[in-house]
Amino acid sequence: MSRHRNVRSINVNEEYEGYDDVYGHSVEDDYCVSPSEAAFMYDREGSKNKQKIGAFFQSVNDIAEENEGENESKEANLSDIDKARLESCVDQIRQIVSSGIPRQELVNIILLYNFNVEKAINFILGCPQYNHITEKKAVVPKDVDPSNIKVVTPGTKTTNITKGFDLVQKEVNRLNVTPRSQSPASGRATPTPDQNDEGKNLKQKESKFDVNVQYKKERGNAKENLYMVVIGHVDAGKSTLMGHLLCALGQVNQKTMHKYEQESRKVGKQSFMYAWVLDETGEERNRGITMDVGRSQFETETKLVTLLDAPGHKDFIPNMISGAGQADVALLVVDATRGEFETGFDFGGQTREHALLVRSLGVSQLAVAINKLDTVSWSQERFKEITQKLKLFLKHAGFKENDVTFVPCSGLTGQNLTGKPTENELLQWYAGPCLLDVIDNFRTPERPIAKPFRFSINDVFKGTGSNFCVSGRVETGTLSLGERILVCPSREMATVKGLAIEEVSQQTVFAGDQVSVTLSGIDIQNVSIGYILCLSQNPVQIASKFQARIVVFNVTVPMTKGYSVVMHHQSLVEPVIVSKLINQLHKSTGEIINKHPRCLSNNSSAMVEIQASRPLALELYSECKELGRIMLRVGGVTIAAGLITKIVL
Amino acid sequence: MKLLYKDVDKEGEGTVGLIAEEPEDMWHAYNLISEGDLVRSTTIRKVQSESATGSSTSNRVRTTLTICVENIDFDTQACVLRLKGRNVEENQYVKMGAYHTLDLELNRKFSLKKHEWDSIALERVDVACDPVQTADVAAVIMQEGLAHVCLITSSMTLIRAKIDVTIPRKRKGFVQQHEKGLNKFYDNVMQAILRHINFDIVKCILIASPGFVRDQFYEYMFQMAIKTDNKVLLDNKSKFMLVHASSGFKHSLKEVLQDSGVINKISDTKAAGEVKALEGFYTMLQCEPAKAFYGKKHCESANEAQAIETLLISDNLFRCSNVALRKEYVKLVDSVRETGGEVKIFSSMHISGEQLDNLTGVAAILRFPMPELEDEESDDEN
């Protein structure tokens, strides 16, 4: 029942972007409201009775909006047929781009392009003023568009309600029904929460309401947390670049750095001295490559950045996926050396795969560091050449053009990392920001703190004392000290004994934080990497069979029924079987083009059924984006990315 | 397997006498025996006898029984075949029609009577009795925290041990926990190898993993072997072979068996041949989708057009209890052979066979494209 509260305090504009066209419904319609509040509300009850859509739209225009007059005059001139065309155009556009654009602006655009939907959409997508609201119609639905508004305050409620007027009645119903029918209490194999207790629900609502306030109180003044994953082809210089950056920011003390320098010289790998800051195990240092995700923290002017240094080597992509799954933004490092960039990009290198992976994992902002430019004597042509190639590819991969920034730099010499470059050759043509500024300019995505609590485990280790710790990321919701939590899919209860972010203990943690949780009342054997923690009154769904909508990348052998693949879901790596190919879909429109296809080849999109050998903790993409994404890999190559659309059990 | 006699008449009815010699023969026997067959073998039965005073005693007697098979049970791990059915030949201990469960034993003769010996069954007898010994290969598929120790024989892949441990990740200042966890994991794998692999039989041990796990493990194992003076490992050092695999899951074995170095070493095992054939099918599906089909209905229509060049079929389909269905598959195989096509019967105990099973169990590579088949509704719903 706490969901009602969620809906109530939702900032519809933020929340439902990427949720197709479901916008603007408020629970207030079903509730009693105080007269003072009611004065601000649009009375939908009247329109609810009239089922005619046309009539519905008529009433819409009666609501006063900015520039209403102008719009009226234009629309009034249209014939009835044109009006109908206009309505259908508006609907179509709204299906593709989300709700944020005022209606009469849409109308103007449509009239401008003479009812041509394609052109109108292109205009909207291309127009920078709509960037904060538009959404590309790529196949993998996009994440919530990050914006700087961090806290969903109840104050925005009234405006949200008015957003909903062009809703067709059907959609209203859908919104009404979906969360309830898919509530965990609907008889799934999960433990039944005792939810009849009205008093408890009330209390819960109260606490949920407090969450926003509390979040604001605790985090309002501090620097924003940002999680950044560093990706790129093997030997692109990711660790060195980051090591040097940390060093330049004073995160590594002189003594340690001196030690690394001495030791790395001893083994004849002096160029690896910065990489040693992040590569700590003996194995990694000896081989000179990163094998597992290295973590570190540094501060920029406005942000507290947690750095996840992903391995670039092909064999360690599973590690990279678990790192990237926790990141908000990504830094793609490419090697500018002649030949090196080409191997990393064109000839089956990891640059492409990594970029596709992070995009599919929901990372929408990307900075590209063109590294090792010193080896080509800071040539502007080389920089341009690489930039152009990457721009085209990244656009294809679904990154918005202005969410991608290119920075020339050198990890080893430290040029353009934290301050203005000193090399004259670079200064001649480059006047843009340095790497640190680019990182500082990233927008922090909105944290879904009001949603039910979900936490994905990516490490289990023994802490100090008798208990053990799990670390991972709070995907949604909040967790406080002392709460009872449910470990899924093993369905064991445990108590939270301690919470810590980067070794600093906390009372409450919020969505987006990477936390180590000390658990008690559960055996370490019953917890493993990839498990989900949730609250027992709102558990995650557990199933071994589900349907997903997938996009197949470049594959050497086509995917057939019964294909065995490795599925990555958060930190979980699990062998699964594609048990059924249900429909093949059109890549951009999502129409069914082939029922029961025999096989899926390159670049196709399809609905498939996936069977795992044991139950897994999953969520529908529509309910929880973070837990609704999957990756499929075969033989060390990522072959598909998907979204969970239906849970079969 | 040793063939003692074969007495099959023109109609296909008859009896075959066999002796199972190794565990793998049980697998062949499992594939041969179907419901309704008569099996005669020696067995131990608990017999209760009542004395004149009314007290009953029970004792175990060894007797020879013939049963009409009703239920077949195969334990893949222990390679034991258990046949349940009614007695059809009365003797002094067991009445007619009494139920008995036969455990087929190694090195004891049994005879199998079928009402109809079809080509598949007869071929199976031939294959089983082929005295040429194929190389036994052991493989360790591993990744950090997960390892499978398996034995690959000519017709079976047996998972002997699965080691699944959570290894703490490396984190600032806690590198030791990661390395300690890793060493413990390697130790477990090493123990599993020593316990499950018989170095006298196995000709080659493959260690496959992504990244450097295999090298690290190999180094660790021999360091430990030197430390503990483990003669068995040190003597067989040359049998170990390091191969790349993309993950530690069972299906990665497929990649290992495709590795050119491995193919050279184990050349003729059925497992490698099957993997190659299935790969051929997938490649064809990618390049010329109109020349590769799967599913019973598609394969049958292709066969009607005499289009099948290679038929891949899983032995699982011949084990089904539905006699009519089995006959249909046998007919398909026979007719493909008649038209000069090649038939590859996959063992469902191999990785590739498992995958074929998931892919309806039957697939065909055609001589010429048949695009018209593509439009036909496939029967992959069942």
B263-277: per-residue pLDDT in tens? 777 766 677 788 888
Max CA separation in chain B (angstroms): 83
The alpha carbon of residue A286 is apart from the nearest alpha carbon of chain B, in Å, by: 12
Cβ–Cβ < 8 Å for B86, B67? yes
Residues 528-557 of A with CB under 8 A from B: 528-529, 555-557
Instruction: List the CATH number of the domain containing A466.
Output: 2.40.30.10
Give the span between the Cα atoms of B341 and B306, in whole angstroms.
Answer: 9
Where do you find CATH 2.30.30.870 in chain B?
A: 2-129
Q: What's the CATH code of the domain at A306?
A: 3.40.50.300
Please check whether residues A257 and A298 belong to one and the same domain: yes
Query: Across the interface, do A563 and B377 touch by the CB < 8 Å criterion?
Result: no
Are A562 and B172 in contact (CB < 8 Å)? no
Angle at which helices A2-9 and A198-219 cross, to 10°: 40
pLDDT for the residue numbered B132: 65
pLDDT in the model for residue A360: 86
- Chain B residue closest in CA terms to A595: B377
Q: What is the pLDDT of residue A96?
A: 62
Report the pLDDT value the prediction gives residue A176, as an integer from 0 to 100. 41
Q: How far apart are CA B104 and CA B100, in angstroms?
A: 12
The pLDDT assigned to B172 comes to 67
Name the superfamily (CATH) of residues B271-375: Ribosomal protein L30/S12 (3.30.1330.30)
**Residue where a domain stops, chosen among A539, A554, A580:** A539
**Distance between A147 CA and the closest CA of chain B, angstroms:** 31
* pLDDT value, residue A46: 47
Closest of A570, A503, A508 to residue A296, by C-alpha: A503
Judge whether B96 and B87 are in contact, CB under 8 Å.
yes
Task: Tell me which CATH code domain B136-268 carries.
Answer: 3.30.420.60
Which of B358, B360, B375 should one mutate to test binding to chain A, selecting the residue with the greatest count of A CBs within 10 A? B358
Integer Cα distance of A116 and A122 in angstroms: 10
Q: What residues of chain A lie within 8 A of the CB of B285, using their CB?
A: 557-558, 560, 598-599
A237 and A117 within one domain: no
Are residues A282 and A228 both part of a single domain?
Answer: yes
H or E, element range at A640: strand A637-647
The reported pLDDT for the residue numbered B223 is 93
Q: Does A67 touch chain B (CB under 8 A)?
A: no
| Interface ipTM | 0.82
Residues A483 and A627 placed together within one structural domain of the fold: no
- Check residue B83 and give its pLDDT: 92
Residues A234 and A169 in one domain: no
| B2-129 homologous superfamily | Pelota, domain A (2.30.30.870)
Q: Do A557 and B178 touch (CB under 8 A)?
A: no
Residue in chain A closest to B250 (alpha carbons) equals A575
Which residue type, as a one-letter code, is found at position A466? S
Q: What is the least distance, in Å, from the CA of A323 to any CA of chain B? A: 12
For A440-464, write each residue's pLDDT tens digit.
Answer: 888 888 888 888 999 999 888 887 7
Which regions of chain B are under pLDDT 70?
A: 131-135, 172-173, 267-269, 376-382
List the single residue in A287, A462, A524 with the smallest CB-CB distance to B177. Answer: A462
Low-confidence ranges of chain A (pLDDT < 70): 1-79, 89, 93-104, 117-118, 120-211, 220-221
Shortest distance between the Cα of B294 and any Cα of chain A, in A, equals 8
Mark whether A521 and A549 lie in a shared domain: no
In this structure, the answer to whether residues A237 and A386 fall within a common structural domain is yes
| B interface test, pick of A252, A277, A280 with most B CB neighbours within 10 Å | A280
Residue span(s) of chain B under CATH 3.30.1330.30 come to 271-375
Under 8 Å between Cβ of B76 and B83: no
Same domain for A76 and A18 = yes
**Chain B CB contacts of A460 below 8 Å:** 166, 168
Residue A31 and residue A15 in one domain = yes
Q: What is the pLDDT of residue A186?
A: 42
Which of A539, A571, A604 finishes a domain? A539
The per-residue DSSP string of A452-490 comes to: PPEEEEEEEEE-SSSSEEEEEEEEESEEETT-EEEEETT
Strand order through the sheet with B342-346: B292-294, B362-366, B308-314, B342-346
Q: Which of A539, A562, A596 is the last residue of a domain?
A: A539
User: For residue A293, what is the nearest residue in chain B, using CA coordinates?
Assistant: B170
C-alpha dist (Å) from residue A266 to A263, A286, A289, A620: 5, 12, 17, 53
Is the domain of A528 the same as that of A470? yes
Are A342 and A452 in a shared domain? no
Domain that holds residue A568: 541-647
Tell me: do A618 and A551 sit in the same domain.
yes
Q: How many domains does chain A have?
A: 4
The predicted structure's pLDDT at residue A37: 60
pLDDT for the residue numbered A536: 87
Contact B251 A564 (CB under 8 A): yes
d(CA A412, CA A385): 22
